[in-house]
Structure 1
């Protein structure tokens, strides 16, 4: 009860200071509905629970029999899923597998005992917010097919999450943390990367010692997706799809030099010609250089002028060419709900 009251007090103080209740709850790791229930009921949980004992409940002796059976030398290295059918084959039934597991859990006898590494909890990656260029970058590696079956070239590609501009790329014969570190070092020679977040998946080139030490030297903060969760790195995945489904993509490249020439042309088209749907149909370079505001304002004015000339053709308001101030990478659940409402 003391911890519950302290949490409620901290959230009230945060709200009085100007913070939103959703963000305060999310910061402390509580669902807002839980806090609302606690605020409504200050005296704690008044539920009395079940007073009677079910007629089919296991007796103390039966529970002890299950524990003794599981701790028997014969079954000590077997799971309930193995113990129950073994006993049934001998004409003995003590309880179901779920009953065995429940009794073992009640007596603190369910622990990882194998030599294999226990399952690790995978937490949602930190939510990153970009309010301008060169604050949050996303990068990944994708394969490019050669003419020889089973032989690939590997494209290393970095994208600015806020502007969607491709800020760096390289093509090599293999995936390597050394190549990734060299790419970041080359970018660091012309761009101040201090305080930048660099998000990627959990591949060995991303988490290699050479890459991580280079990021530390450049004062770049690494961020990683959960294993096997491609949705944690959506911007890079979307960019690769745009590239590989481009009308000029050849599917196979004769040499690595030709692959580099094609990617160079694609990067120029993507940054300077492609009207990106995620940033209100301006080019990534226009947004990166801060020219998109003027362009969107001009479009809005054109729409208003057209509506003024023929208002009967407009059943609703004009399309809103909104400038997006913030772009989020892996937002929290509360932030996702706010973005949907907006």
Structure 2
């Protein structure tokens, strides 16, 4: 676990052991400050084409393939992400890319987030894949009062946050390298991933809050508590 994750996690529990820089210095002394895991080194995300000031203003959605042992066959991970909180608000695993499946997921997500009635329209951003432009999905969006938005032409990384989560998912340490034996197995693993991501993962883009904390409006309370912990540690060791 990175020091950028360790320090705020401990602060949220009222504990302060050392600063981020101290953790990194100790890691460097023990030759542990290097990139680990199967993924490439992370790079900064480009700016998104939308902005949000609260949950359920802008959603992003995408589909990615999931490996199975049989060559040439895939399962597909459908994902809906809230831009403001980075919370995974909707997901499903199916055996094909389909506008009909996407419509079902969209209706369930709107109900689960209780955003059927809203003052301003919800924006749903995606890339230009065929399921995103299917007539069934578009009719569903219009009936729900959702405004569709798609990536700009010839801009391959215009939906970076959804793509970033797929990368995090596929390179989790417990992600099956050879794929899933069945759709039920894939759904069970993905359920555990979504729970971890929403409730445990401290997101660097959220100042190391979990997506659930941000989505539920707990930011100010948590930041105030961290500030007290850091100031108490500074008062105890002013020379540091």
Normalised-by-shorter TM-score class: 0.7 to 0.9
Give, in angstroms, the shift of residue 225 of structure 1.
0.5
Q: Which has the larger radius of gyration?
A: 1
1:293 Cα deviation from its structure 2 partner: 1.5
Aligned equivalent of 2:137: 211
CA distance in 1, matches of 2:59, 2:95: 24
Distance 1:231 1:278, change over 3 A: same
User: What CA deviation, in whole Å up to 9, does each residue of 1:44-81 have, x standing for no partner?
Assistant: xxxxxxxxxxxxxxxxxxxxxxxxxxxxxxxxxxxxxx
Aligned position for 2:165: 239
Q: Tell me, yes or no, if the aligned pair for 1:201 and 1:227 is still in contact at 8 Å.
A: no
Corresponding position: 1:262 with 2:189: yes
Say which SS state the counterpart of residue 142 (structure 1) adopts.
strand
Is there any run of 5+ residues in structure 2 with no aligned partner, and where?
A: 1-46
| Conserved 8 A contact 1:177-1:206 | yes
| Matching of residue 271 in structure 1 with residue 198 in structure 2 | yes
Please give the per-residue CA displacement for 1:145-178, whole angstroms capped at 9, x wherever unaligned: 0010111000100111110100000111110111
Matched residue, 1:192: 115
> Aligned partners of 1:175, 1:153: CA distance in 2, in Å?
9
State the shift of 1:126 in Å: 9.1
- CA distance in 2: counterparts of 1:150 and 1:164, whole angstroms: 32
Higher relative contact order (CA 8 A, sep 6+): 2
TM-score (norm 2): 0.75
C-alpha distance in 2 between matches for 1:126 and 1:273: 24
Contact 2:200/2:210, CA 8 A, preserved across alignment: yes
RMSD value, Cα:
1.6
| Number of matched pairs | 189
Q: How far 1:135 moved relative to its partner?
A: 0.5
**SS of residue matched to 1:214:** helix
Please list the CA deviations of residues 168-206 of structure 1 after superposition, one character each: whole Å capped at 9, or x if unmatched. Answer: 001111101111011112223342244111100000100
Higher share in helix? 1
Instruction: Tell me which residue corresponds to 1:284.
Output: 211
